[in-house]
C-alpha cells in the first residue's frame, strides 16, 4: 500500500530495517512464543502493540500470537491487521478477538473496502485518503497526512484519531492520554 507509514520516514533507516528483519526472523523460530512469554514476564510488560510495521503473515504465526497472549494475562495487547482478507488467517483472528487481554483492529481503506465480517469484540480502523470517502461503521479513522489540514465532515472528525485532529493537537493528546485503541 503506497500510503503505508512503514514504507517511509524512520522506517526506511537501515538500522530500523535491520531490526525489523531481525524481529521477523525471531517470529519464525519454533521457540518464539516461549521466549516472548518469558520476556514479557521478566520485563513486567503491561502493554504491548503487535507490529509497529508488518502484519500477521501466516496462520502459524497467528497461532503463536494466540499462545503468547493466553499465557501472558498480565499484559494487555492490541493489534491492527489487514490480514482479515486472508481466509486461513481470518479464522484465527476470530479466536484472537476473544482473548480478554487483546484488542483487535481490522485495518481497512478504500483499497480493501469495509470488511464483510467483523469478529466479535474486534473493531475497524479506517485509513482515510480522501475527503469524500465513506468510512462506513468504522470505530476509528486515521487521516492521511494531507487530510489533516483540511476541513472534514463532522462524522469523520468524531471518529478521527485525536493525535491527527486540530482539536486533539491543541489539547496535546497522545496515545498515553487517549488509550482508546487498547481499552473500551
Which CB sits closer to ligand SF4, 6 or 70?
A: 6
Which CB sits closer to ligand SF4, 57 or 180?
A: 180
Cell of 159: 471518529
Which range of residues in 24-32, 43-51, 55-63, 160-168 is near ligand SF4 by CB under 6 A?
A: 160-168
Work out whether 161 is an interface residue with ligand SF4 (CB under 6 A).
Answer: yes
Work out whether 180 is an interface residue with ligand SF4 (CB under 6 A).
Answer: yes
Which CB sits closer to ligand SF4, 29 or 179?
A: 179
Work out whether 181 is an interface residue with ligand SF4 (CB under 6 A).
Answer: yes
Which CB sits closer to ligand SF4, 106 or 140?
A: 140
- How many whole angstroms from its chain centre is CA 101? 15
Residue in the block written with cell 521477523: 24
Separation between Cα atoms, residue 26 and residue 46, nearest integer Å: 21
Contacts of ligand SF4 in 37-96 (CB under 6 A): none
Contacts of ligand SF4 in 92-151 (CB under 6 A): 140
**Torsional class of 121: left (φ above 0), alpha (ψ -120 to 50), beta (otherwise):** left
Cell of 3: 500510503
Separation between Cα atoms, residue 52 and residue 38, nearest integer Å: 21
3-state secondary structure of 47: strand
Q: Which residues bind ligand SF4 (CB under 6 A)?
A: 140, 161-163, 175, 178-181
Amino acid at each position: 500500500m503506497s500510503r503505508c507509514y512503514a514504507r517511509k520516514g524512520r522506517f526506511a533507516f537501515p538500522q530500523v530495517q535491520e531490526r525489523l528483519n531481525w524481529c521477523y526472523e525471531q517470529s519464525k523460530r519454533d521457540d518464539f512464543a516461549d521466549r516472548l512469554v518469558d520476556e514479557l514476564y521478566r520485563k513486567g510488560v503491561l502493554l504491548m502493540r503487535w507490529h509497529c510495521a508488518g502484519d500477521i503473515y501466516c496462520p502459524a504465526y497467528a497461532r503463536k500470537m494466540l499462545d503468547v497472549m493466553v499465557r501472558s494475562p498480565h499484559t494487555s495487547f492490541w493489534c491492527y491487521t489487514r490480514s482479515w482478507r486472508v481466509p486461513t488467517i481470518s479464522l484465527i483472528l476470530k479466536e484472537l478477538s476473544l482473548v480478554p487481554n487483546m484488542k483487535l483492529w481490522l485495518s481497512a481503506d478504500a483499497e480493501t473496502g469495509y470488511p464483510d465480517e467483523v469478529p466479535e469484540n474486534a473493531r475497524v480502523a479506517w485509513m482515510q485518503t480522501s475527503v469524500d470517502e465513506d468510512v462506513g461503521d468504522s470505530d476509528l479513522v486515521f487521516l492521511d497526512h494531507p487530510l489533516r489540514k483540511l476541513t472534514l465532515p463532522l462524522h469523520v472528525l468524531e471518529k478521527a484519531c485525536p493525535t491527527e485532529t486540530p482539536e486533539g493537537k491543541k489539547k496535546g493528546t497522545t496515545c498515553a492520554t487517549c488509550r482508546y485503541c487498547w481499552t473500551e
